[in-house]
Chain A
């Protein structure tokens, strides 16, 4: 059975305005990627190579700028507001969402520090996406309770965010994702602050739970895009996107590896030169890793 791509990125081109140099720098150029339903995509690269820019583009924080729109006010607003130029199309399940606001795209985002609302308690945090959709309170409470029970944070529901630990915050963030039920989940170095073991467990739990619809409240198409520095993450990824920054032009080259979960992909990774690690060390890691 051939799957339809859930996310298609075509010809993405982003330029940033540099205040000190007073000119635009290209950061992403002619970037293409298609992700199938149920896939897990890992994204690695140098800092400033465009990983977060890519996630921003998918989430809708960077919208395509329409230069051809010949409206005086629009042009002034563009000049005042935008520090970047962007072109390209983003398709989610075949629909073009390039000019859609972030709240109307079917996307979830977990950030490095989880960015939970510290003025609310855990329950309100979990309920926030549903509250924004205008669902009535009884249903929200039911859904929140069921998800919290599955994630084992039922006893924390009335605690403040400042009172709970890092791992628990992580679970709240994941609960938010499961309640929102987005088609595409973006993780921006979400687990990198945690220690090694916790990271392993959580990542496995989250991604597998999320992709397999185990804890989610409905079934549907899912995909995960995941920015990471952790080599272990590659072992379970279906696709790996490597960004490589050209220090002179500041433009990023990219390469997409299709992992068939064997050694060939790691050989390619070694050739990319991003990780100064010997192939036999890779092999050792791979052999020791038991998913």
Chain B
């Protein structure tokens, strides 16, 4: 009888559990495993290809650009996102605040294509930003988009993804006990002291995990840099993902080729950043 009950429970569990797990295995596990096998099964060959690629200036450039891009975008996103989250935190909830919430979240709801089109329109020589700079600061009309492609890509990426930071931080800010802030005010903390001594330490853990997520997601970001690159004919912006894509494009999407070897640095960098950062977190938490 007990055994029957157990079987009944087990069957219910399996009916619920198996379909999603099969989905994950077929659509995520097996492809990922396939990729890993593809680049590690013949690792001697892969390393030889990568060493050969080191003479390719595009490859070295792409790695350098990737690091620069990740560093700048993540830093700016964190600063802007924190500022926005703090603002939303200090604005009390009422009928108007939901509109402000939506406006701040708007960039995240915009597809990369639309963001790139809109920003490239305003960063052109005839665009709005050049016009404003000429009008107010008397800087000559200048195609920021063409000449400073990396900078414009960074601006667009920051605009697109700072709401992610903002939402994450806002939820953690709202979890701070209200009494803690009141008590700090009674203890004589000014506005900036309250942020420095109470709010910042209380949100530190969330901040670190958001930084890790952002670094990993920005390092592997493909669409925004790629779209910025093809919208521009004068100079090519190569980051690691776009470089890999160009290799796949040359050799054809359906053949395993040298491009598979290029996953190697991407995976390694992802692995090392996450391990490095995780170790740092442990240290910080212990302190």
| Stretch of A104-112, A151-159, A212-220 at the chain-chain interface | A104-112
Q: Are the CB atoms of A83 and B183 closer together than 8 Å?
A: no
> A173: shortest Cβ distance to chain B, in Å?
9
Q: Are the CB atoms of A61 and B182 closer together than 8 Å?
A: yes
Q: Are the CB atoms of B184 and A83 closer together than 8 Å?
A: no
Interface string of A72-102 (1 = CB under 8 A from B): 0000000011010000000000000000011
Residues of chain A lying within 8 A (CB to CB) of residue B187: 103, 128-129, 132, 176, 180
Contacts A80-B96, A83-B92 given; indicate if A117 touches B180 (C-beta within 8 A): yes
Residues of chain B lying within 8 A (CB to CB) of residue A81: 91-92
Q: Are the CB atoms of A111 and B183 closer together than 8 Å?
A: yes
> A172: shortest Cβ distance to chain B, in Å?
12
| CB contact list, B16-43 vs A, under 8 A | none
> A214: shortest Cβ distance to chain B, in Å?
22
Give the total of B residues in contact with A, Cβ under 8 Å. Answer: 22
| CB contact list, B74-114 vs A, under 8 A | 91-92, 94, 96
| CB contact list, A23-56 vs B, under 8 A | none
Instruction: Tell me if B190 counts as interface (CB < 8 A to partner A).
Output: yes
Residue from A108, A111, A120, A132 in contact with B193 in the complex, judged by beta carbons closer than 8 Å = A132
Residue from A80, A111, A119, A129 in contact with B188 in the complex, judged by beta carbons closer than 8 Å = A129
Alpha-carbon separation in the docked complex, A180 to B185 (Å)? 13
Alpha-carbon separation in the docked complex, A6 to B179 (Å)? 26
| CB contact list, B178-199 vs A, under 8 A | 179-180, 182-190, 193, 197-198
> A179: shortest Cβ distance to chain B, in Å?
10
Instruction: Tell me if B201 counts as interface (CB < 8 A to partner A).
Output: yes
> A127: shortest Cβ distance to chain B, in Å?
10
> B113: shortest Cβ distance to chain A, in Å?
36
Residue from B177, B188, B190, B201 in contact with A115 in the complex, judged by beta carbons closer than 8 Å = B177
Closest to B177 in A: A115
Contacts A83-B92, A103-B190 given; indicate if A128 touches B182 (C-beta within 8 A): no
Alpha-carbon separation in the docked complex, A248 to B204 (Å)? 46
Total A-B residue contacts, Cβ distance less than 8 Å:
63
Instruction: Tell me if B62 counts as interface (CB < 8 A to partner A).
Output: no
> B276: shortest Cβ distance to chain A, in Å?
24
Q: Are the CB atoms of A117 and B184 closer together than 8 Å?
A: yes
Instruction: Tell me if A200 counts as interface (CB < 8 A to partner B).
Output: no
Contacts A80-B91, A113-B179, A115-B179 given; indicate if A102 touches B201 (C-beta within 8 A): no
Residue from B91, B92, B188 in contact with A132 in the complex, judged by beta carbons closer than 8 Å = B188
Residues of chain A lying within 8 A (CB to CB) of residue B188: 103-104, 129, 132-133, 180
Alpha-carbon separation in the docked complex, A59 to B187 (Å)? 11
> B188: shortest Cβ distance to chain A, in Å?
4
Closest to A113 in B: B179
Instruction: Tell me if B220 counts as interface (CB < 8 A to partner A).
Output: no
Q: Are the CB atoms of B185 and A102 closer together than 8 Å?
A: yes
- The 23 sampled A-B contact pairs (Cβ below 8 Å) are A59-B186, A61-B182, A61-B185, A80-B91, A104-B188, A108-B186, A109-B182, A109-B183, A109-B186, A111-B179, A115-B177, A115-B182, A115-B183, A117-B198, A117-B201, A119-B201, A120-B201, A128-B187, A128-B197, A129-B188, A131-B197, A133-B188, A180-B188
Given known contacts A80-B94, A101-B185, what 14 new A-B pairs fall within 8 Å (CB)?
A: A59-B182, A61-B182, A83-B92, A103-B188, A103-B190, A109-B182, A111-B182, A113-B179, A115-B182, A117-B184, A117-B197, A119-B201, A128-B187, A133-B188
Query: Which residues of B pack against A, CB within 8 Å?
Result: 91-92, 94, 96, 177, 179-180, 182-190, 193, 197-198, 201-202, 204
